[in-house]
């Protein structure tokens, strides 16, 4: 890999080409999301997407994950076993928006959904909730289209808040937080989930009131 050993000229070129593809895939997905957001605003006068972030996994992170999972640290293993080298995160207002956004993305003709991990229906043991989609999008090179994988995470503001702080806390303990801290994080995740449910219920109540007013 790029930061682990000295590579030949051809290997460097292959690495750079591969990372170019992943970076281009992020641009493609971001453009699609922007168009879908604008269309939704135009058609429904409502924007379900609060903000979007993206990132390209570093060479060091790629090597560490391959080693952690017991794979060779080469380009072939990287493409075969890692689904999150290119990542896009969509943060929305309400839990119901998550599934709307996922459907809008899935309905794109040139996007292929490879895998869905619904951590909202089945949260992780630590309380983590999010909706993950592994997709491929074609990148049209001069030599032809190259199907490239992207991981899309969709979550509410509350879920994103919890996940961000949980990551920072675990980083301080190098991934081995004391049991009391783990229990507190799970309890915070429960509170976050309750907040999401209440905010969704409140929004539905507001929409019902507005609907009745428009009928008058």
pLDDT tens figures, 31-80: 999 999 999 899 888 889 999 999 999 999 999 999 999 999 999 999 99
Q: Say if 4 falls within a structural domain.
A: no
Starting at the edge strand found earlier in the chain, the sheet holding 131-141 runs 49-56, 86-92, 144-156, 131-141, 112-118
Tally of domains in the chain: 1
Q: Say if 143 falls within a structural domain.
A: yes
Q: Say if 33 falls within a structural domain.
A: yes
User: What pLDDT shows up at residue 63?
Assistant: 93
pLDDT by residue (tens digit) across 45-54? Answer: 888 999 999 9
> Structural domain of residue 33, as residue ranges?
9-157
Kindly report the CATH number assigned to the domain that includes residue 81.
3.30.460.10
Q: Say if 203 falls within a structural domain.
A: no
Low-confidence ranges of the chain (pLDDT < 50): 2-4
Query: Catalytic residue numbers?
Result: 151
- What is the number of alpha carbons within 13 Å of residue 213 lying toward its C-beta? 6
Q: Say if 127 falls within a structural domain.
A: yes
Q: Say if 179 falls within a structural domain.
A: no
Geometric angle at alpha carbon 65, from 63 and 71, rounded to 5°: 80
Q: Say if 215 falls within a structural domain.
A: no
User: What pLDDT shows up at residue 190?
Assistant: 94
Q: Say if 62 falls within a structural domain.
A: yes
């Amino acid at each position: 890999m790029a930061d682990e050993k000295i590579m030949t000229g051809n290997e460097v070129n292959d690495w750079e080409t591969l990372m170019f593809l992943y970076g281009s895939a992020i641009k493609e997905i971001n453009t699609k999301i922007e168009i879908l957001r604008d269309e939704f605003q135009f058609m429904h006068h409502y924007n379900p997407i609060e903000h979007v972030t993206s990132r390209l996994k570093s060479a060091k992170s790629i090597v560490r994950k391959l080693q952690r999972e017991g794979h060779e640290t080469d380009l072939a293993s990287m493409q075969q076993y890692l689904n999150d080298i290119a990542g896009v995160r969509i943060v929305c207002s309400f839990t119901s928006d998550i599934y709307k956004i996922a459907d809008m993305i899935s309905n794109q003709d040139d996007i292929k959904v490879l895998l869905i991990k619904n951590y909202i229906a089945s949260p992780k043991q630590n309380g983590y909730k999010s909706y993950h989609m592994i997709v491929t999008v074609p990148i049209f090179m001069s030599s032809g289209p190259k199907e490239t994988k992207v991981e899309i995470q969709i979550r509410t503001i509350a879920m994103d808040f919890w996940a961000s702080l949980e990551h920072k806390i675990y980083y301080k303990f190098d991934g081995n937080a004391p049991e009391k801290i783990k229990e507190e994080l799970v309890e915070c995740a429960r509170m976050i989930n309750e907040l999401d449910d209440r905010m969704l219920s409140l929004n539905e109540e507001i929409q019902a009131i507005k609907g009745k007013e428009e009928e008058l």
